[in-house]
Amino acid sequence: MNNFFSFRSDKKIVVRVKEPEVEMSIIRRLGKPKFWVSNNDFNEVMEKIYKTASKQAREAYLKRALRQKET
């Protein structure tokens, strides 16, 4: 248990990044929260945030993967 959260450099981890089968599935499943008080459409706001965050995450992952390949 002492080493549970430690990183092992002797093991290679393979990560595959792909588009989700259903975009914003958790947001669509849960729907608009009861505390949403904005006049803006919840799904439109969340779609913008979701797409921006997803794009940035993919770009950061790919940038890091390319750096690791170079070393």
* Token representation of residue 45: 């706001």
pTM: 0.63
pLDDT in tens, 5-60: 777 777 777 777 778 888 889 898 999 999 999 999 999 999 999 999 988 988 99
Domain spans of the chain, in order of start: 25-29+40-70
Alpha helices in 1-71 (DSSP H): 25-30, 42-70
* C-alpha–C-alpha distance, residues 29 and 40, integer Å: 19
For the chain, give percent helix, strand, coil, nearest 5.
Answer: 50, 0, 50
Cβ–Cβ under 8 Å, residues 61 and 17: yes
**Which residues, at least 6 apart from 31, have a Cβ–Cβ distance to it below 8 Å?**
none
